[in-house]
Structure 1
Amino acid sequence: MKKTLSIIILMSFLFGCKQKLSSLHIVLSKSEKEDSTSISINGLYLKNYDSTFYKLQRPNQINFQDTIKIDSIPHGTYTLEYIDIIGNKIFKTIKVKENLKQIQILTDSIDTGKYENQIPFSNLKNNDNYSIEMKGGCVASFHGNYKICRIENIYYFETIGIKKRKLKQSEIDAVKKFESELLTINGKDICLSTGRRTFKINSDNPKQIIDNTCNWNGWSNLFSVLNK
């Protein structure tokens, strides 16, 4: 009787200690919904207090809207650590409880708050203008430019193939976003690529910026708005 009772207690203990498992899906997305280019993940780790459950080390080329699936993960609290497109380490706390936990990462997210008041557009004086030139990319001869002038509080835009025209508010927002991101990526040496682009700001505060992120698609995103 005592032996039988001991077995029952032992089995109850073993089943009671059995870990509950779930699946974790990490969805790679973008704030720029029309940008479907692939990205390079420079490092992604899922950890708890004493173990690393998943590791994605560089270099890893990931398609837009890919999902990283981690199955059979014990319930608990985890830290998701990854490198954003300008080299910052990002940490997210994840609590896995349900049968399936899904989280989203915006792979193109850049904090530009520090530079929004420093961009050429924000400092353009009345009856003045500035331009930004771009060259490089996958094709060495690839180049482009745009020029913006201000007359009173109206802003005008012109570039190759587009005559001078007034900017709409949505286009102004796109220009400001691009220029803020451009200043933010300055000096960020994430990778060295033969396809990197060089930007030259021609204004009262001239500057040359080389895109060494290998992930930023700001120029194309800007012109997808301006060419609508």
Structure 2
Amino acid sequence: MKKKLIILFLTSIFFLKCEKKEISATIKIKIELENKLSKEYPDLNFLKIYKNGKLFKEIKPDGLPFIQHSIKLKNLEEGKYEFEYLNIFEQKIVRELIIQESKIYEISLNPDYSDYKQNFKKSLIRKLKVNDSLKITYRSQGCFNREEDSVIIYKKEKFYELERNGKTTKLTDKEVNNLIKMECELNNIKFGGCTTSDIYIFSGKNFKKDFIDNTCKWNGWQNLKGEMKWK
């Protein structure tokens, strides 16, 4: 009797394994900008895909789609897939997707995404004390273009104000975050070698800090103007 039970148990395990469906999934990888207002079109330098911690596939620049396009990976088994690439600030970004069933999965990779909050402690805007002010001067110059602009940020007791073109307005929390995000991303800018140079000067009481962006990939001031709805 005991022998029959063991045989029955082993037979049940065998049939359960046979009945387990094989997973065959598809991943649609879309290369797109996080900032929909941006007019820049940066590409990915490379894309490495890992499956369960091991390198599964590497796609070099000539095999990657242009911005706002996608590629598909088909007949994929279940597991954890990680997508590693460099953003426009040359930071390593890793996105994760777990396949558990046979279906089409989608994932977006953003060349302009950055973990800007890691630079919060460096933000001069956040360090402003009540009744202090900070001026941001922007200058852009290239072979065929030249632009200048500036704003003054005032720290009040419970809010911020911004002066631009002689007009002062109270900032919303979102607008303050837009300004801080731009400042934090400036700290991540690397040398680019583009013929157009965007210069940012942050000046205030007892401080002055300059940033130069010649990457032709980020275009932070124009993005900020769109987010703030400046003309």
Same fold (TM over 0.5): yes
Q: Is the contact between residue 28 and residue 105 of structure 2 (CA under 8 Å) also seen in structure 1?
A: yes
- In structure 1, the residue corresponding to 2:221 is in which secondary structure? helix
Which of residues 26, 34, 38 is equivalent to 1:35? 38
Q: Which has the higher strand share?
A: 1
Q: Is the contact between residue 37 and residue 227 of structure 2 (CA under 8 Å) also seen in structure 1?
A: no
Say if 1:192 and 1:171 are closer, same or farther in 2 by CA, change over 3 A. same
Q: Does 1:143 align with 2:125?
A: no
5+ long unaligned stretches in structure 2: 1-21
For 1:172-217, what per-residue CA distance to the aligned partner results, in whole angstroms no more than 9, with x for missing partners?
222222222222x24x23x321134221111233111122544324
Q: Does 1:45 align with 2:48?
A: yes
Q: Is the contact between residue 86 and residue 111 of structure 2 (CA under 8 Å) also seen in structure 1?
A: no
Say if 1:95 and 1:154 are closer, same or farther in 2 by CA, change over 3 A. closer
- In structure 2, the residue corresponding to 1:113 is in which secondary structure? helix
Which of residues 207, 210, 218 is equivalent to 2:212? 210
- In structure 1, the residue corresponding to 2:222 is in which secondary structure? helix
Say if 1:170 and 1:99 are closer, same or farther in 2 by CA, change over 3 A. closer
Separation of aligned partners in 2, 1:58 and 1:200 = 37
Which of residues 81, 88, 92 is equivalent to 2:91? 88
Partner of 2:223: 221
Letter of the 2:178 counterpart = A
How much does 1:26 deviate? Answer: 0.7
How much does 1:21 deviate? Answer: 5.1
5+ long unaligned stretches in structure 1: 1-18
**Identity over aligned pairs, percent:** 23
How much does 1:120 deviate? Answer: 2.1
Q: Is the contact between residue 24 and residue 73 of structure 1 (CA under 8 Å) also seen in structure 2?
A: no
Residue pairs, 1:1-228, within 5 angstroms:
22-35=25-38, 37-48=40-51, 53-57=57-61, 62-63=66-67, 65-70=68-73, 72-77=74-79, 78-96=81-99, 97-136=101-140, 139-160=144-165, 163-183=167-187, 185-186=188-189, 188-189=190-191, 191-203=192-204, 204-227=206-229
Q: State the TM-score, normalized to the length of structure 1.
A: 0.72
- Superposed CA RMSD: 3.1
Say if 1:151 and 1:91 are closer, same or farther in 2 by CA, change over 3 A. closer
Q: Is the contact between residue 137 and residue 196 of structure 1 (CA under 8 Å) also seen in structure 2?
A: yes
How much does 1:82 deviate? Answer: 0.9
Say if 1:107 and 1:163 are closer, same or farther in 2 by CA, change over 3 A. same
Q: State the TM-score, normalized to the length of structure 2.
A: 0.71
Partner of 2:16: none
